[in-house]
Amino acid sequence: MAVRKPVQALAMAAAAASALTYVRYRRDIADIRAAALRGGTIAATAAGPVEYAEAGQGAPLLLIHGAGGGYDQGLLIGRMFGEGYHIIAPSRFGYLRTPAPEDASLVAQAEAHAALLDHLAIGEAIVVGVSAGAPSAIELALRHPDRVSALILLVPRTYDPSQSVGVDDSASSQVVLRLIEASSDFLFWLGTKVARGSVIRFLGVRPELEASASDAERARVTEVMRSILPLSERVGGLALDSRLELSAWPLEEMRVPVLIVSAKDDLFKTLPGARFTAEHIPDAEMRILESGGHLMVGQGAQVKAWTEDFLRRRLS
């Protein structure tokens, strides 16, 4: 009897903590969902409905987000470029309020990007493809070079013969991948709170690198993690990205200036594909970060400087 009371007390305390955690989750996910669903605009384009958002003034810049994203992730990444740009951030097929059409191919997605520019009466734009947003950005530049003043690919998912790109194969990353595939909002949210290092590794960054970053940079990484929620509003796009099989593009036909940035320690292993792509595009420029991983942690100023220099020289 003397032992039973402490055990019961511990069980009650654990149950109370679990209840409080779930209440916190419900409040947090409600705020995240409301923000995600109110921040975008639905454009009725010739290619169907496309959700997008805009920010800033200046040169038009179409920013195509990566896996797990949406227009909100695009706006977040767009802050890296600073002032002087009119950021247009669409949600790709299946993400947030952009539906996945029957034909959700890369060609169809590229045509949807062009149709959004038409809807906004933008003739030509700088196009930035990030991670899994790179394939449709490349397709857009190949199909509509007159609409793309310059193409910038950041830690891009691109083709290379080794087909090496993919999620880190560590046990912790594979567990997080299962949560993503199951579209478990609660478990992914919980992981960001109690297993941050595992989520960071899944996102392509060594946990020790992120842990030693500045407070401002760690806050940005937290924003990136939150931008994946709610998973339940992005599961369609994630499914499309997971089924995508890349084949070689006719890169020698590229007729726009191209800058490609990857990182040596990107756990998604984008560097081989980035190098292959740069080698096969006439006059493409390649920049390689020594560290930063897939989220380019701590490298925002460097990437901004490289892109500004590239655009200044190639668009003059």
pLDDT single digits (tens) 220-249: 999 999 999 999 999 999 999 999 999 999
Question: Where are the chain's structural domains?
Answer: 39-165+238-314
CA distance 160 to 52: 31
pLDDT computed for residue 9 by the predictor: 43
pLDDT recorded at residue 16: 47
CATH 3.20.20.70 assigned to domain 39-165+238-314? The reply is no
- 294 pLDDT band, cuts 50/70/90, is very high
Smallest Cα–Cα separation from 76: which of 224, 276, 271, 240?
224
Report whether pLDDT(188) > 50: yes
Which tokens in the block code for residue 303? 């990437």
If you ran DSSP here, which 8-state letter would residue 289 be given? E
pLDDT tens per residue across span 6-38: 444 434 444 444 668 889 999 999 999 999 988
How far is CA 183 from each of CA 91, 102, 186, 189, 203, rounded to the nearest angstrom?
18, 22, 9, 11, 16
Structure tokens at 65: 């987000």
* pLDDT score of 121: 98
How high is the pLDDT of residue 5?
Answer: 53
Structure token pair of residue 163: 């087909």
Q: Give percent of the chain above pLDDT 90.
A: 84
CA–CA gap between residue 211 and residue 39 (Å, rounded): 30
The confidence score (pLDDT) of residue 80 equals: 94
Would you state the pLDDT for residue 35? 92
Model confidence at 53: pLDDT above 60:
yes
Judged by DSSP in three states, 204 sits in coil
3-state SS, one letter per residue, for 41-106: EEEEECCEEEEEEEECCEEEEEEECCCCCCHHHHHHHHHHHCCEEEEEEECCCCCCCCCCCCCCCH
Residues 73-110: pLDDT tens digits?
999 999 999 999 999 999 999 999 999 999 999 999 99
| pLDDT at residue 166, rounded to an integer | 80
Structure tokens at 161: 């013969």
Q: Which two tokens stand for residue 296?
A: 């380019």
Query: What would the mean pLDDT of 156-162 be, rounded to a whole number?
Result: 93
Residue 5 CB: number of other CB atoms within 10 A? 9
The secondary structure of the chain in percent helix, strand, coil, rounded to multiples of 5, reads 50, 15, 35
The answer to whether the CB of 88 falls within 8 A of the CB of 148 is: no
Q: Which residues contact 220 (CB under 8 A, 6 or more apart)?
A: 76, 300
pLDDT mean over 136-154? 98
Q: Which helix (H) or strand (E) holds 148?
A: strand 148-154
Residues 88/60, Cβ–Cβ less than 8 Å: yes
Where do we find the tokens 């083709």? 159
Average pLDDT over every residue of 299-310 = 97
Q: What is the rounded end-to-end Cα distance, in angstroms, of the chain?
A: 83
| Element at 36 (helix H, strand E) | helix 4-38
Using CA atoms, how far apart are residues 99 and 180, in angstroms rounded to an integer? 19
